[in-house]
Homo-oligomer: A and B are copies of this chain.
Amino acid sequence: MGKIKLLQGNEACAEGALYAGCTFFGGYPITPSTEVAEYLARRLPQIGGVFLQMEDEIAAMAAVIGGSLAGCKALTATSGPGFSLKQENMGFAMLTEIPCVIVNVMRGGPSTGVPTGPGQSDIMQCKWGTHGDHPVICLTPAYVQEIFSETVRAFNLSEKYRTPVIIAFDEIVGHMRERIEIPDAGVLEIVNRVKPTCPPSEYLPYDDSKGDVPPMANFFEGYRYHVTGLNHGTDGFPVNASPRIHTDELRLLRKVEANRAEIIKFEEYMLDDAEVAIFAYGVSGRSAKTAVEMARAEGIKAGLFRPLTIWPFPDEQVAELAGRVKGIVVPELSLGQIIFEVERCAKGRCKLEGIYRVDGDPINPAQILAKVKEVK
């Protein structure tokens, strides 16, 4: 058995990173994500890894990409305002296909908002925050143990698909403490980026002829190549306007789209015979679970769909669900964001009700139950 600890969600995230082999953290403090940094500030120097507090979030994101390119598994953690600032460089990592993990511990409000309150209102930004078309993987754990394991998974997906992965959870799960078990090394699978095996003279960093994820050489290992945020050819050098841009950008999206089956993860709870489904993640997913239990206790056939991967969105699963329930209830700590996606996939085949709350408190099970009853 692994190590048992009582940890905050943020600390579990740091532990998950270490378990996954993260040796590089670049950050800038911001509530409510700071504990991720503080934990790693203590741990990384102990294991010879790099802890860097940069001058701002833009620099933090840049340093993380640099660290990854030099061969480290690299992490950054932030919240709303910092997440907005990181967007430009996140797009750089997406286009240049440099793995890294970005944690967004979501707080309340736009702008400075409510720094110490929880939110789930950056969830559309996780997908659309940077300009241009870009692939996005975003995970949404809800329990401290899950934050640990999803952080490991985030690094694995990032390395496997050569793309940044976002982990988004709310302040409540980030700050609360729960018991977690940190498995012994070797228990969870760890994925490392595929490196080129060809001679350096033949290396094409963005060669798409052998699959959508070309092997990635680290800097300073003999493969001298060029990395640029301009659209580029298979050799990494800029191309200005050509079919290559189109096919290459398509490939980037395809890395995610074609692997939905592997990337998309969710929990279904009492959904088999459900007449009303709740679609909820993060702390709202936790409340929803209690609401399902309360509903069942009253004889109402409710069930929960709790996505652990929110991007790519579980289109098919939601479409299927919408075809067999009377309605879907979507509780969110926002004024309605992910419900747009549910609406898109449901295609009008069932009722849809949102529960929105942005006053600093979580949506409670009673609120959800009431809405479930309305829909039923």
Which residues of A line the B interface, CB within 8 A? 58, 80-81, 83-85, 87-88, 91-92, 94-96, 106, 108-117, 119, 121-122, 124-125, 127-134, 228-231, 240-246, 249-250, 253, 334-337, 340, 343-344, 347-349, 356-361
Contact = CB atoms under 8 A, between A and B. Distances in A.
A114 B240 CA distance: 6
Nearest to A131: B80
B113 A230 contact: yes
Contact of A129 (B128, B343, B359): B128
13 contacts: A85-B87, A92-B111, A112-B228, A114-B245, A117-B241, A119-B132, A133-B336, A240-B360, A241-B360, A249-B335, A249-B358, A250-B335, A340-B344
B243 A359 contact: yes
Contacts of A356: 246
Contacts of A253: 335
Nearest to A93: B111
A193 to B, nearest CB: 20
A91 B114 contact: no
A212 to B, nearest CB: 14
Q: Which of A92, A130, A357 has the most CB of B within 10 A?
A: A130
Contacts of A229: 111-113
Given A84-B88, A95-B109, A111-B130, 5 more contacts: A92-B112, A108-B245, A113-B132, A125-B128, A348-B349
Contacts of A91: 81, 84, 110-111
A128 B136 CA distance: 14
**A127, A343, A348: which has the most chain B beta carbons within 10 Å?**
A348
Contacts of A119: 132
A168 B229 CA distance: 22
B359 A109 contact: no
A119 B231 CA distance: 13
Contact of A242 (B127, B334, B360): B360
Given A240-B360, A243-B359, A340-B344, A133 B114 contact: no
A112 B91 CA distance: 9
B87 A111 contact: no
Contacts of A94: 110-111
A122 B133 CA distance: 8
Contacts of A85: 58, 85, 87-88
A94 to B, nearest CB: 6
A241 B114 contact: yes
Contacts of A133: 109-110, 121, 334-337, 358
A111 B128 contact: no
A243 B360 CA distance: 9
Contacts of A129: 84, 87, 125, 128-129, 131
Q: Which of A111, A116, A241 has the most CB of B within 10 A?
A: A111
Given A87-B87, A359-B243, A130 B113 contact: no
A324 to B, nearest CB: 16
Contact of A359 (B116, B117, B242, B357): B242
Nearest to A242: B359
A230 B130 contact: no
Contacts of A343: 344
Given A84-B130, A125-B131, A108 B231 contact: yes
